[in-house]
Amino acid sequence: MALSKMDIPRRAQHFLECGIEDCERNCEFYCNPCHQRLCKQCSEEHLKSPESKNHEVVLYQQRRRQLPVEKCNIHPTKDVDMFCEDCQLPLCSKCATQSNHRGHIFTDLETIYSEKFADFQEEIFVIQNYFIRTSQDLQREIKKDSPEIKHIMDNIRTSMKTEGETLKSLVDTVISENMKQLDQIEHSLLEDLNTQDKIMDDYITYLNNHVKELHRCLSSTETQKLMSEEKPKIRSIPETTKPVMPEFTAGQYNKSDVTKLLGKIHIPNTIAEKREIRPIESIYNTTMKLTHNHLMKENRKKSDRKQRLSLSAYVTQVREFNVPGVDDVFHVSLAQSDRLWISDDEGNLVQTDLQGNVIQKIKTSGRDQGYHTVTQDRDLIFTDHDNQAINRITQDNNNTEFIKTGDWEPLSIHSSHINGDLLVGMKTSYTEAYVARYNKTGKELQTIKLDNKEQEMYRYPHYITENINGDICTSDLNRKAVLVVNKFGRYIFSYTGQGSRFYPYGICTDVLGHILVCDTVSNTVHFLDQDGQFLFLLLTPRQGVYFPRSVCVDDENNLYVGQGHNNTLTVYKYLQ
């Protein structure tokens, strides 16, 4: 089998169609000069044509933004389509021939416009995901300090009253004075917090207005104005301080000195602690935007191994074993190099070694979904759709309810090998569903619902995984498709199989970025590249595969395949 020369299938795998008239194939490429969407066949014909053989045809995701049409003020019949690097001005081709631009360097305005457009989008992204979110976090912290002040003040009042009860006849005047002083301190602290709250309100309003102004610049059709706009420097997040709480020193019981006996209130001689503002670099963790250095580090870890790997000419069965405690094998999670978690469609979840010996067994509410995963810390995470929750079992067998999902029923889950985040497929009804991302502590970071046409993307995301580049790959049974978005949640492509019917179940990726997915209609495992292009059927009934439900690739590039009609787990080699 010539694996490197497989034809691209005719059946559409993407929602975006080719822009050539009467062509209904998938759009995969884009002609920058023509601004034309192209399928693979039309792109080849486009480059063969004498009129367009020298055009720049790129992948659709790498296309340039089309320049808005703007007529030159000096030459009304000409479009503004060039940029003078020396004068820093957009102009038309006729302007470029004038004496005042002689010897200057010119750049394609569309290229500069596309870069500028991307810069403004990045600015909006940073404001929305760092400055606004960080300011809102600080504001919430400020609001939480008010009840804390009340709580501490109440404790001090109680202590004062307890001290005074035994000396009531001697301390009425002193208690009154202390109460008055405490009220003044409380009033002063709350007044300071209200001031800080107002400062953060004003700052957040300023940020939102700044975003609106940037959107206004982006929507402008006046290219010169966009080119001349300089991104204003964003004002720093205002510093705020945490309140310094008063302390109460208990008095000594001595009738000769009532004031000393009852103690006094004082504020510690301590500088108010500044509230912590998370560094802007943290945006790359909380929004899954991996830094270049992190990607390079990850690539270096795997580069030697990946360079030595390639697709084998044949898929070879290494071994197979039965798994006691389950009726069938609907999902497999790697626990460690010699441990697996395996589940069936009856809620049975067992841990085994590589020979099928059961180490641990758990009863869950899981069914035919990829509802369990293992974290980087080797904790087992599994969904409980009956109680709308996500549970965690640590290495010492401590079972806790980790996350509550409210009205949403968690179906599938995957622990990221890139940053430890949890990806969860959710649903509330037959047609309403989404994918959520949580960090290690259970804080929700991201929700993904809409495709590139702002339509609901998911219906039943019952298996989910992550590719080496951070893409989120989901098997959606009701959509009858594999849906893939990037780490920011932006739709990339969908894959709908090779025949009239396609029922995707278990899904996984390998070290080379391939996507492997079970098709329960044709009893096959489909093999896609990182961009969603179908390569070939990796496993078929010819290799003894029937009712495939789960796939998993371990660190040694062994492929585990579980089936829906028995409890046998088969191991294959397909990389060499």
In our burial notation (b when 16+ CB lie closer than 10 A, e otherwise), range 227-252 reads bebeeeeeeebeebebbbbbebeebe
What is d(CA 571, CA 560) in angstroms, rounded to the nearest whole number?
Answer: 5
pLDDT band with cut points at 50, 70 and 90 for residue 6: very low
The beta strand positions in 101-241, using DSSP E, are 106-108
φ, ψ (nearest 5 deg) of residue 222: -90, 95
User: What is the strand order of the sheet 380-384 is part of?
Assistant: 372-374, 380-384, 389-393, 399-404
Mean pLDDT of 114-118: 77
Lowest pLDDT segment from 95-109, 278-292, 341-355: 278-292
pLDDT of residue 256: 55
pLDDT one-digit tens code per residue, 391-401: 999 988 889 99
- Give me the amino acid identity at 100: N
* Residue 562, strand partner residues: 550, 569
* pLDDT of residue 12 exceeding 80: no
What is d(CA 305, CA 307) in angstroms, rounded to the nearest whole number?
Answer: 6
Per the CB < 8 A criterion, the answer to whether 401 and 389 are in contact is yes
pLDDT one-digit tens code per residue, 425-482: 999 866 789 999 999 889 999 999 988 888 899 999 999 999 988 999 999 999 999 9
* Block residue for tokens 């305005």: 109
pLDDT of residue 13: 37
What is d(CA 519, CA 241) in angstroms, rounded to the nearest whole number?
Answer: 58
Q: Would you call 97 exposed, middle or buried from its count of C-beta atoms within 10 A (0-12, 13-18, 19+)? A: exposed
Lowest pLDDT segment from 108-117, 330-339, 365-374: 108-117
Per the CB < 8 A criterion, the answer to whether 27 and 54 are in contact is no
Give the H or E element holding residue 218.
Answer: helix 168-219
* pLDDT of residue 262 exceeding 80: no
What is d(CA 88, CA 286) in angstroms, rounded to the nearest whole number?
Answer: 37
pLDDT band with cut points at 50, 70 and 90 for residue 495: very high
φ, ψ (nearest 5 deg) of residue 295: -60, -40
Q: Pull the structure tokens for residue 427.
A: 């649903």
Nearest to 416, CA basis, from 527, 294, 533 = 294
Q: Pull the structure tokens for residue 126.
A: 């940073």
Q: Pull the structure tokens for residue 91.
A: 């102009």
* pLDDT of residue 359 exceeding 50: yes
Q: Which residue has the higher pLDDT, 182 or 2?
A: 182
pLDDT band with cut points at 50, 70 and 90 for residue 119: confident
Helix/strand/coil for 476: strand
* pLDDT of residue 504 exceeding 90: yes
Mean pLDDT of 520-545: 90
Q: Is the pTM of this model over 0.85?
A: no
Q: Pull the structure tokens for residue 69.
A: 């049409």
* pLDDT of residue 287 exceeding 90: no
What is d(CA 123, CA 396) in angstroms, rounded to the nearest whole number?
Answer: 45
Identify how many contiguous H helices and E strands the chain contains and give both numbers: 8, 32
Q: Pull the structure tokens for residue 322.
A: 């039965």
Per the CB < 8 A criterion, the answer to whether 368 and 343 are in contact is no
* pLDDT of residue 335 exceeding 80: yes
